[in-house]
Structure 1
Amino acid sequence: MDLNKASSAEILDRPHRAPHSATPRRKARRAMPVARTTTQDVQAGIGLAIRGRRRLIDMTLRALADACGVSFQQIHKYESGQCSISAVQLWRIASALGVPVSYFFERVTPADRS
C-alpha cells in the first residue's frame, strides 16, 4: 500500500505490528566497574586549577576578571565550581594566567578514584 496515496481510513484499518524493539535486550557485562567523571568533578577540578595558578602568580580576582572581560564574581563562581566555563572563556583565563588550556585538566580525576 502506497502511504502517499492511501486514505486515512485505509491506514487506520491495517493490522498493527509490534515494534521490532519488543524483544528484550541483554545488558552488556563489564569485567570491572568504570570510574565516571561527573560535570561537577570537572568544574571543581578546573576551578581549583584556576585558583591555584592565580594565587601562585599573586593575581587578584579583579585583575583576572579584568583580563578576561567578566566580573570578579563570575571568576569566583568558576573557581568554586558553581558555573561551567565555556571554551572561549577558559582560553582567555589560560592566556591571562600564562598557561596552556590543558593545564586546567591535569587535576580533573574521577570522584571515586583515591
Structure 2
Amino acid sequence: MSDHTHGTHEVGEIPPANTGIIWRTFWILLGITMIEFTLAYLMKAGGMRTSIFVIMTLVKAFYIVGEFMHLKHEVKSLIWAIVIPIVFIVWLLVALLAEGGSIGTSVFG
C-alpha cells in the first residue's frame, strides 16, 4: 500500500495557517492607502496629484496580484507576458486621451 500523505503532516491533519504573509501584506497596503489619503488632503487637485494616485494604485494592484495570485513566484517570462501588454494598454489610453483633446480643439476651434 502506498502512502498518499504530502509533507510531514498526518492524514487529515490541517497544516498551520501562514497568516504572517497576509498581515504583512495588509500593513503594506494600509500604509500606501494612508499615504494616498494624506496626499488627497494636502495637495491641490491637478495633474500631479492624479499621477501620484495612479502610480500608487498600480503599485498596490501589482502587489496584490503578486501576493494573492502568486504571480511573484512564477517564472519571469509569464510575468513579462502579463506586464508588457498592460504597459501598452496604459500607453494607448494616455495617447487616446491626449490626442482626443487636441482633435476637438483643432476641428471646432
TM-score, normalised by the number of residues in structure 1: 0.27
Question: Which is richer in helix?
Answer: 2
TM-score, normalised by the number of residues in structure 2: 0.27
Q: Larger relative contact order (C-alpha < 8 A, sep ≥ 6)?
A: 1
